[in-house]
Structure 1
């Protein structure tokens, strides 16, 4: 028994030691193809006072004179820098890439954050303040704003409120009316699993109701991610589960300390209740359609976390100086990570140029696939 206890203790100590070894809390320097550090490049973790509290971001760029791209992660409260491990975008080669972790999320989580500050108005104000910090630091009058999922719900409201700060807004998996999106996802998954002949999952879905009247049942919230990943319509087309695709990669991020990695999950659990119900029932298309900044949407054809149909309909209703919608045929919820080469080309050739030459012809994004109208 003593030998077993000693062995388990040794394994535990080795595991803890390894975790600390891969958690130095600083991003690696950017390197060229030969493995050499790129002279003049930037790869750092920064903490600044935003909205009265310290908030952190990771900034990476081969050339800090490149256009600044501020990325708004999803959630609420779920950071996304970890995606660069398995789905590298390479955006730091073309942009000064800013992975800000929002109030209450990841590196910016603290038990001392006043709960009363976790409001939509404060999140919008924080985003504008971060943008102003970046504009001043890098000497750029306007920067690029990209929002993903929850970040798109936040980002599009920021773009409407402060258009003078931004070159353009890009909504990836643009939220419109999330409760309706959840109802549509439930219907899609029920049909998909019936077609597969998966009677067990069909029973689970039928016992996990979603409706516009009653909202999301606890059973649906427990089931939805697994059901989506089972048919390739979740966070990415190829993620098998939240554990292998999200939970484990977070623990491998060297830019995080061990406490940061713990705080990713603390922040997600703490932040979500402040915003989730209001976001579910808010219909952006009913109140926010006029913008004074170029608007671009990245839509994953296979996405069911956020309905591509609703994004398409919302896009058509938007009035903006210029706009472009891009359907990513091989993507689910995360086109920037799933098809980075195409996304980068669009950002460089259309978004930065104030053009839409690469935008799709008007297409419907139906549950049976994408087709020209």
Structure 2
């Protein structure tokens, strides 16, 4: 009898503990949800001066525009909307990048009217109603040209700057080829050339790096995650690649050691996004990838796209192993363009504009815009 009573008391205490734990968890989840909603108004911060005052005449807005028959969203920021327009094409496919500004502020808005467009199927522009058959390169190029024309008309500028990052560089350089008359210049940051070959080179690099570190565990995992030109990328490699690159300091940025802390968590702090937008960042990334990844992997731009009718510039991070710098240099060497420039950022990995913004600005303002202005004056 005594043993049964003790058992009943223990069961009661355990049940009471589990009930209290469940209530505490529900309360924590409710508080977390309220906090997420509170920091997700869906509007970017206004631009302020050093004293904290809103800069008169500045622009910091989120807008939705019909592009390619669907609603797509952009964030525009500028201390002076008369400044040159710069359209930023994010990476992925389907991975937005406005969130990176929180921890790696570029200051683009100080000298440009910078436009952060979230592409068809990505982030703020994601919708389950997007026809899957429209998720193709021809439509993405057409969308980019249509966004460009909207910006040219809105800001009364005949030509704007185009900057593509990673996947955005793969899209951007094809847009530059298709519509050179609309752009002052094209800047490819971490320019994609032949991504499958880059992945093979990255696998070899990481094996060497982890062997040199004496990290036998990672070496075994890499050896069990094959990559080859013949067989492509194994599922094991796709699960391992980001973690292996970030641990080695050759991923999205030199000082991002984890995708979770460096990319996943910052998205949830973006004031310009609603809570649903933040969910859609991840939904859009997963959904968009299936339409473009295989073609992106196997396309060799060096074999088919080398003559351009506008200035072409490449920003390359010395430590980038997402888009191999050697391939980018080899591509640059065969390009024919009215003006061009190849810039290596010694302290950067995949994101030179975010990692070394002062040097990037110096090049954008002095070499690219300043060089073009000097050339125009001479003519």
TM-score class, shorter-chain normalisation, is over 0.9
> Do the aligned residues in 2 keep the contact of 1:29 with 1:42 (CA within 8 Å)?
yes
- Note closer, same or farther for the CA distance 1:356–1:274 as it changes in structure 2 (3 Å cut): farther
1:342 is aligned, of 359, 367, 378, to 359
SS at the partner of 1:299? strand
Per the alignment, residue 13 of structure 1 pairs with: 30
| Normalised TM-score (structure 2) | 0.93
| Cα separation, 2, equivalents of 1:205 and 1:265 | 26
- Note closer, same or farther for the CA distance 1:172–1:356 as it changes in structure 2 (3 Å cut): farther
Per the alignment, residue 117 of structure 1 pairs with: 134
Per the alignment, residue 66 of structure 1 pairs with: 83
CA deviations on 1:131-179 (whole Å, 9 max, x unpaired) are 0000000000000000000000000000001000000000000000000
1:4: Cα distance to partner?
A: 2.8
**Which residues of structure 2 form unaligned runs of 5+?**
1-15, 375-379
| Cα separation, 2, equivalents of 1:6 and 1:150 | 45
| Cα separation, 1, equivalents of 2:25 and 2:148 | 49
1:287 is aligned, of 293, 304, 307, to 304
Moved over 4 A (4+): none
1:195 is aligned, of 201, 212, 232, to 212
> Do the aligned residues in 2 keep the contact of 1:233 with 1:304 (CA within 8 Å)?
yes
Per the alignment, residue 160 of structure 1 pairs with: 177
Matched, 1:91 2:128: no
Per the alignment, residue 146 of structure 2 pairs with: 129
Per the alignment, residue 226 of structure 1 pairs with: 243
SS at the partner of 1:55? strand
Per the alignment, residue 367 of structure 1 pairs with: none
More helix per residue: 1 or 2? 2
1:355: Cα distance to partner?
A: 5.2
CA deviations on 1:256-285 (whole Å, 9 max, x unpaired) are 000000000000000001000001000000
Q: How does 1:219-368 map to 2 (within 5 A)?
A: 219-354=236-371
Per the alignment, residue 30 of structure 1 pairs with: 47
SS at the partner of 2:98? coil
Per the alignment, residue 362 of structure 1 pairs with: none
SS at the partner of 1:12? helix
RMSD value, Cα: 1.1
> Do the aligned residues in 2 keep the contact of 1:322 with 1:354 (CA within 8 Å)?
no
1:299: Cα distance to partner?
A: 0.3
CA deviations on 1:32-65 (whole Å, 9 max, x unpaired) are 0000000000000000000000000000000000
Matched, 1:209 2:226: yes
Count of aligned positions:
357
> Do the aligned residues in 2 keep the contact of 1:50 with 1:126 (CA within 8 Å)?
yes
SS at the partner of 1:352? helix
| Cα separation, 2, equivalents of 1:196 and 1:10 | 45
| Cα separation, 2, equivalents of 1:13 and 1:113 | 32
SS at the partner of 2:240? helix
- Note closer, same or farther for the CA distance 1:162–1:313 as it changes in structure 2 (3 Å cut): same
Per the alignment, residue 360 of structure 1 pairs with: none
SS at the partner of 2:370? coil
1:326: Cα distance to partner?
A: 0.5
Per the alignment, residue 363 of structure 1 pairs with: none
| Cα separation, 1, equivalents of 2:244 and 2:269 | 26
| Cα separation, 1, equivalents of 2:250 and 2:312 | 25
| Cα separation, 2, equivalents of 1:299 and 1:356 | 24
CA deviations on 1:210-268 (whole Å, 9 max, x unpaired) are 00000000000000001101110000001011111000000000000000000000000
1:106 is aligned, of 119, 123, 144, to 123
> Do the aligned residues in 2 keep the contact of 1:237 with 1:331 (CA within 8 Å)?
yes
1:356: Cα distance to partner?
A: 12
SS at the partner of 2:209? helix
**Which residues of structure 1 form unaligned runs of 5+?**
358-373
1:114: Cα distance to partner?
A: 0.1
1:351: Cα distance to partner?
A: 1.3
> Do the aligned residues in 2 keep the contact of 1:350 with 1:356 (CA within 8 Å)?
no
1:8: Cα distance to partner?
A: 2.0
Matched, 1:145 2:162: yes
> Do the aligned residues in 2 keep the contact of 1:323 with 1:356 (CA within 8 Å)?
no
